[in-house]
Homo-oligomer: A and B are copies of this chain.
Amino acid sequence: MLKNTFLKVKEKTPLVHCITNYVTVNDCANSLLACGGSPIMADDIGEVEEITSICNSLCINIGTLNERTIRSMLAAGKKANALTHPVVLDPVGAGASSLRTSTTFNLIKQIDFSVIRGNISEIKTVAQGAGTTKGVDADASDAVTGENLEDTIAFAKKLSEKTKSVIAITGAIDIVADSQKAYVISNGNALMSKVSGTGCMLSVIIAAFCGANPTEILDATATAVCFMGLCGELAYDQLIKTGGGTSSYRTTLIDFMSQVTPEILEGGAKIESR
């Protein structure tokens, strides 16, 4: 599954429309190019429908949302829905402010998302309209551990049933689920949380993988999550050898996105289905 799903990305060079935050947007663009996709960022209401029409998928990230871009997110999302393009939501910081929470709810109400990806705090906010989000990072009390894994899988499946979206909860252990099936992925490295935007990068990569595999959203999402995690592992292994801090780690992380092949991914994935 992993190898063929990733091969499709390499073959199709999916063009991904990103309406994303200005903090990590450059890393998102370079991540897309590195993995085999192609980015276009456009957030003006006057062009988002047209831009999304020429793309293979859309990623909406609310990390630095504002009144102007929220309107564009809604317009782009509806257009992508009309065209049956995959649409990914990254509800950055949902729970941290009423604006983020209500915008997340409004987006989910008006747009059919193929995938919703966030940390556990953000996804709990999506589910409950109440979270314990601390800023844009997951609250430690929310962490997915071996002990609450089964509960979290059940939660993700139920949320997927409710939203009709694939749910991707990322953290030390990643869960990717639709209403019937869940993947548990244990690729990744803790240092990824010390680089700004690894979540945002993953969301646009998911959009690329879904754009190249529009009929296999669950598998495409799980493959993207494995890919990102494996790149994080390989980058960590290299950092240990060559030395360096978090900025070198970021560079190496994106380097591996351009170097990991479908075969390497197949060999390195730590994924099981439940």
Binding site for B on A (CB under 8 A): 15, 21-27, 29-30, 33-34, 38-44, 46-47, 50-51, 54-55, 63-68, 93, 96-100, 134-137, 194-197, 244-248, 250-259
Establish whether residues B195 and A15, one from each chain, have CB atoms under 8 Å apart when the complex forms: no
* Chain B residues whose CB sits within 8 angstroms of the CB of A247 once the complex forms: 30, 34, 250-255, 258
Q: Which of B29, B63, B251 contacts A196 (CB 8 A)?
A: B29
Residue of A33, A47, A259 with most chain B CB atoms under a 10 A cut-off:
A47
In the complex where A50-B97, A97-B51, A244-B255 touch, is A196 in contact with B26 (Cβ < 8 A)? Answer: yes
- B134 adjacent to A15 (CB under 8 Å): yes
Give Cα distance in the complex from A64 to B41, angstroms: 7
A196→B68 CA distance, assembly (Å): 25
Chain B nearest CB: distance from A245 CB in Å?
3
B96 engages A40 (CB within 8 Å): yes
Number of copies: 3
A15-B135, A68-B66 known; A246-B250 Cβ under 8 A: no
Point out the residues of chain B lying under 8 angstroms from A30, CB to CB: 195-196, 246-247, 250
Counting from the closest, the 7 A-B pairs by CB-CB distance are A245-B255, A247-B254, A29-B196, A245-B258, A47-B99, A47-B97, A44-B66
Provide the residues of chain B in CB contact with A196, threshold 8 Å. 26, 29-30, 33, 39
Note all chain B residues with C-beta closer than 8 A to A15.
Answer: 134-135
In the assembled complex, the Cα of A63 lies from the Cα of B40 at a distance in Å of 9
A24 touches B29 (CB 8 A): yes
CB distance from A256 to the nearest CB of B (A): 6
Q: Which residues of B are found within 8 Å of A41, using beta-carbon distances?
A: 21-23, 63-64
Given known A-B contacts A26-B26, A246-B34, A255-B245, A42 and B97 have beta carbons under 8 A apart: yes
Chain B minimum-CB-distance residue to A24: B26
Chain B min CB distance to A254 (Å): 4
